[in-house]
């Protein structure tokens, strides 16, 4: 089985439903401290505290996030995010079997919830990347509490790490894994890297790719595999963007 590690996004889709929460990846109990801290900040409704946490200067732009996260409507993590990578993933127009693939095979690293399966249902929330939550540093918190659980969850699965570099802080892969690098005219890209991570994830789902061997044979429009580098336990595939 192939597991894909993926980043969240600042942008999110509002709404969801009030179905009963199921156990998230790892355990809800292990997240309780950081989620409680976040909820207390919401309840205190201090404009400066909320503005700092959210990274939003205008309080009126914060209103959609000012809700109790435990009772707020929930949506699958793979559907909750709406940033560049998710725009190019285009989850809502994928065939149902591809959507199920994403729910089962994707692990998204949230700044609030930590590692999540694509199917895990979460509230609409806001935490600016790099911000503490009530004195807790999310990356250290989740690395300490979830690394062992993730090791167990991933087991002997093949691992494709499509995360942005920041999210390496949440979990360091201890086994052999593969990651991607995107070049345009010989230079590493940043914004378009987000787009192509979404495109790669979409193609994995559409073609039901179950291991790295099958991924190596997958042709992706607009990308040409230029080089493969192996550094310790990391295999890096360097893609050249053709268009």
How confident is the prediction for the chain on average, in pLDDT? Answer: 92
**What SS3 state is found at 227?**
strand
What is the domain extent for residue 142?
Answer: 2-241
pLDDT of residue 66: 85
Between β-strands 158-161 and 2-6, what pairing exists: parallel, antiparallel or unpaired? Answer: parallel
pLDDT of residue 21: 64
CA gap 100, 232 in Å, rounded? 33
pLDDT of residue 196: 94
pLDDT, one tens digit per residue, over 70-111 is: 999 999 999 999 999 999 999 999 999 999 999 999 999 999
pLDDT of residue 121: 95
pLDDT, one tens digit per residue, over 30-71 is: 899 999 999 999 998 888 888 888 887 777 777 788 889 999
Averaged over 4-24, what is the pLDDT? 87
The structural domain count of the chain equals 1
Comparing 27 with 143, the larger pLDDT belongs to 143
pLDDT, one tens digit per residue, over 130-160 is: 999 999 999 999 999 999 999 999 999 999 9
pLDDT of residue 186: 81
> For residue 187, what are the contacts with CB-CB under 8 A and spacing of at least 6?
none
Between β-strands 2-6 and 106-110, what pairing exists: parallel, antiparallel or unpaired? Answer: parallel
pLDDT, one tens digit per residue, over 200-227 is: 999 999 999 999 999 999 999 889 998 9
């Amino acid at each position: 089985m192939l597991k894909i590690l993926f980043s969240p996004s600042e942008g999110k889709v509002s709404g969801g439903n009030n179905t009963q929460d199921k156990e998230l990846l790892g355990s809800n109990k292990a997240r309780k401290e950081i989620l409680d801290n976040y909820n207390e900040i919401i309840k205190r409704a201090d404009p400066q505290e909320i503005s700092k946490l959210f990274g939003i200067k205008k309080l009126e732009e914060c209103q959609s996030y000012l809700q109790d996260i435990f009772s707020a409507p929930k949506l699958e993590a793979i559907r909750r995010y709406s940033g560049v990578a998710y725009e190019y993933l285009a989850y809502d127009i994928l065939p149902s079997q591809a959507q199920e693939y994403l729910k089962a095979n994707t692990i998204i690293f949230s700044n609030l919830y930590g590692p999540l399966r694509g199917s895990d249902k979460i509230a609409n929330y806001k935490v600016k990347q790099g911000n503490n939550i009530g004195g807790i540093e999310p990356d250290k918190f989740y690395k300490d509490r979830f690394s062992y659980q993730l090791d167990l969850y991933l087991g002997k699965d093949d691992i494709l790490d499509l995360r942005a570099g920041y999210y390496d802080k949440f979990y360091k892969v201890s086994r052999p894994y593969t990651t991607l690098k995107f070049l345009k005219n010989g230079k590493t890209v940043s914004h378009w890297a987000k787009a192509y991570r979404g495109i790669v994830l979409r193609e994995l789902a559409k073609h039901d790719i179950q291991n790295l061997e099958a991924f190596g044979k997958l042709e992706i429009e607009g990308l040409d595999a230029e080089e493969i580098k192996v550094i310790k336990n990391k295999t890096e595939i360097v893609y050249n963007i053709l268009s």
